[in-house]
Amino acid sequence: MQKSKIPDKQALTVDVEDYFHVSAFEKAIAKSDWQNLEMRVERNTYRLLELFEQKQAKCTFFTLGWVAERCPNLIKAIVEQGHELASHGFDHQRATRMTPDEFRADVSKSKQVLEDISGQAVIGYRAPSFSFNDSNTWVYEILVELGFDYSSSTYPIEHDLYGVPNWPRFKYQRPEGIIEIPVPTVRKNNRNTGIGGGGYFRLYPYFLSKRRIDSYLSTEQQPYSFYFHPWEIDPDQPRVAGASIKSKLRHYLNLSTMEAKVVRLLEDYQWHTMKSVYLDGDIK
């Protein structure tokens, strides 16, 4: 019997936010102080665009509306270079902490800002901190109402900040009529472990991450998606004094080696947008 072909296109994603937006620092940095802090997201994202062009990679940029309003030329550069623009909400508020009306207002505002600047339809959404779970499935009805075709807002792992370990591990269509694309995991001993990027990718040596990705592709024979943030290639970013030791360890771990790892990842796989990998052929 002929073995199924391993997917040859993988989806690259970047969550476009600055170091002071992250949930781990929300107790140390007030949202009212964001405007007074040094913005580094624009420079870091331009660096990623440069790397992607060099390695012929395409990417989906899940972008905060807050960033888009302040960096409109960056948004235009993303779409001009053939990447997909998607929403990460407006100002990085977790969906679990919003009412339906607040969520609708936040996501609608972000979509409008991104579409006005780019001149393109925005059909993808990713919740800050993967904050969709059993307590707020109403979010999908609102995404459909606002015209989104897909979400990538769930991570089926155990985690202290997020995670839905009992939810599906692969792309599926929700009853509300929208596609959900979970962050990839490997399953062993009835437990899921994240392999989709972020802190896990910074923690492990590259050869181990590659081995796990290759195993996923071979065993699951499903497309793979990878996510990270512009601040992860910025080892010189300001240090947040008021954050907890745990948050500091998570955030600053191996920042100095991240860009080199990303370059190797770009060289070892073919990278495309979420829409290209997961939706083309599904959405008319």
What is the model's pLDDT at position 27?
87
How much is the pLDDT for 282? 59
Strand partners, 13: 60, 227
Rounded CA-CA distance 67/73 in Å is 11
The arrangement of secondary structure in 10-279, i.e. its CATH architecture, is: Alpha-Beta Barrel (3.20)
Spatial separation of the C-alpha atoms in residues 138 and 99, rounded to whole Å? 10
Distance separating alpha carbons of residues 276 and 267, to the nearest angstrom: 19
Question: Which residues, 6 or more positions from 3, have their beta carbon under 8 angstroms from its beta carbon?
Answer: none
Segments in the chain below pLDDT 50 = 1-3, 283-284
Eight-state DSSP code of residue 277: I
**Sequence spans of domains, the chain:** 10-279
- pTM equals 0.94
Residue 83: both structure tokens together: 């990447």
pLDDT in tens, 10-34: 999 999 999 999 988 988 999 999 9
Could you write out the DSSP letters of every residue in 90-120?
A: SS---GGGS-HHHHHHHHHHHHHHHHHHH-S
pLDDT of residue 160: 56
Buried b or exposed e, range 200-212, using 16+ CB within 10 angstroms: ebbebebeebbeb
**pLDDT of 284:** 36
Give the model's pLDDT for residue 159.
Answer: 62
Residues β-bridged to residue 125? 87, 151
Give the tens place of pLDDT for each residue, 149-201: 999 999 887 665 665 778 999 999 999 999 999 999 988 877 887 889 988 89
Other CB atoms closer than 10 Å to residue 36's CB: what's the count? 8
Residue 23 identity: S
Distance from C-alpha of 109 to C-alpha of 87, rounded to nearest angstrom: 10
> What pLDDT is recorded for position 163?
59
Question: In the 8-state DSSP scheme, what is residue 70?
Answer: H
Contacts of 259 (CB under 8 A, 6+ apart): 47, 51, 233
CA angle at 68 for the pair 172 and 139, rounded to the nearest 5°: 30
Identify whether the C-beta of residue 156 lies closer than 8 Å to the C-beta of residue 167.
Answer: yes
